[in-house]
Structure 1
Amino acid sequence: MEGCMAINSEGKSGGIALMWKEGVKVDVQNFSNHHIDFLVTFDENDAIWFTGFYGQADPNLRNQSRDMLRRVKRTIKEGWIVGGDFNTIIKNAEKEGGVESRENL
């Protein structure tokens, strides 16, 4: 890999790593314990924004994660991809075991 950036985990949860190969231009724009924002440029006129994301594990703090994504979205003019772990489920039918979640996307 030509380059990499890592955000360490907090205890047993979290952690984000970004790696890219030679020939890919990556400009890290912003980062926190829960995200890395970067612009990937393929040639002079072709770029895309990417956010590597790790959502809050605590359900009471997940709105903070979503608010951060909303703030990032307001600054982006290029196409945007968000990837990572949102620490949530879309429907309770996807969950196996434990207490049923009251929070769905």
Structure 2
Amino acid sequence: MDRFGFWNIRGLNSLNKQKEIKWFLHSNNIGLFGLVETRVKSNNWLKVRNNLCSSWALCTNNSLHKNGRVWLLWDPNCFDVNVVDITSQTIHSFVLSKMTGRKFWFTVVYGFNHSTGRELLWNKLKEYAASCQEAWAVGGDFNNVLNYNERIGSDITSAEIAPFQDCVHWCQLQDIPAIGSFFTWNNKQGVESRVYSRIDRMLVNDEWISKFPESYLKGFMTIVLVLFSLIPWLVELELLSNITTCGL
């Protein structure tokens, strides 16, 4: 089984957080993983990487943003990863699984929290789509809801979701089937002011659905996580001949 995923970790400088991620990767046999909102500066990334998984390869976007918003880590024994493009909101790569021979594009996303910045993200994803002829998965924290039912506690306007919807339609992407919490973030305010939203997701193209029809996204709640504030997400791909659960 090939397993990969992403996690908005909301800061990776804590040793306890590093231990938690290391445990999660090891216990779930993950060989490829995106981390977003790392908040790790350029002079500290090597130390943090070594605490997580010293033998793994790492790509960051620290050269384009001082806080290293996006990381992509992989075990070279499990995956060959060719990083094709890095921006302040994405790391775009072509992946080969050494275990199964599967090939696919994987883009890790951490969208800016303002709409002007996300316009750059939508345009970049359209650029990627034009050259992604094979299976493509786009996962991470988009900082944007996609549909009207993806936030409670605060109204959603058409102006807010239209650019994201246009991008998804133009790129011919769709949500991969998911298991776990529908809402992925909350503002941690009191009950009367609490807002829940779905801003983390994995989108895939038609070629992905054709090649990996039984693949799915699974959300986890680890011991120290509170509500929906920090949820790791994992895609599972299993060989069709060995299906025992919902996988590919």
Fold shared by both chains (TM-score > 0.5): yes
Counterpart of 1:31, as a letter, is I
1:42-76 residue CA offsets vs partner (Å, 9 max, x unmatched):
24953100001112221133222111100001011
Match of 1:91 among 144, 148, 162: 148
Cα 1:67–1:23, aligned 2, differ >3 Å: closer, same or farther?
A: same
Cα 1:93–1:31, aligned 2, differ >3 Å: closer, same or farther?
A: closer
Aligned to 1:28: 83
Normalised to the residue count of structure 1, the TM-score between the two structures is 0.78
**Aligned pairs, number:** 102
1:33-48 pair list within 5 angstroms: 33-43=88-98, 46-48=102-104
How large is the Cα RMSD of the aligned pairs? Answer: 2.6
Mapped partners of 2:148, 2:121: distance in 1: 19
Identical pairs, percent: 25
Q: In structure 2, list runs of 5 or more residues that go unmatched.
A: 1-52, 166-248
Aligned to 1:17: 71
Cα 1:71–1:93, aligned 2, differ >3 Å: closer, same or farther?
A: closer
Cα 1:88–1:25, aligned 2, differ >3 Å: closer, same or farther?
A: same
Deviation at residue 34 of structure 1 after TM alignment: 0.8
Mapped partners of 2:66, 2:84: distance in 1: 25
Mapped partners of 2:95, 2:132: distance in 1: 13
Cα 1:10–1:30, aligned 2, differ >3 Å: closer, same or farther?
A: closer
Mapped partners of 1:46, 1:85: distance in 2: 25
Mapped partners of 1:76, 1:35: distance in 2: 15
Matched, 1:73 2:129: yes
Counterpart of 1:84, as a letter, is G
Aligned to 2:114: 58
- Based on CA coordinates, which of the two structures has the bigger radius of gyration? 2
Secondary structure (helix, strand or coil) at the match of 1:33 reads coil
Structure 1 segments, 4+ long, off by >6 Å, are none
Secondary structure (helix, strand or coil) at the match of 1:78 reads coil
Normalised to the residue count of structure 2, the TM-score between the two structures is 0.36
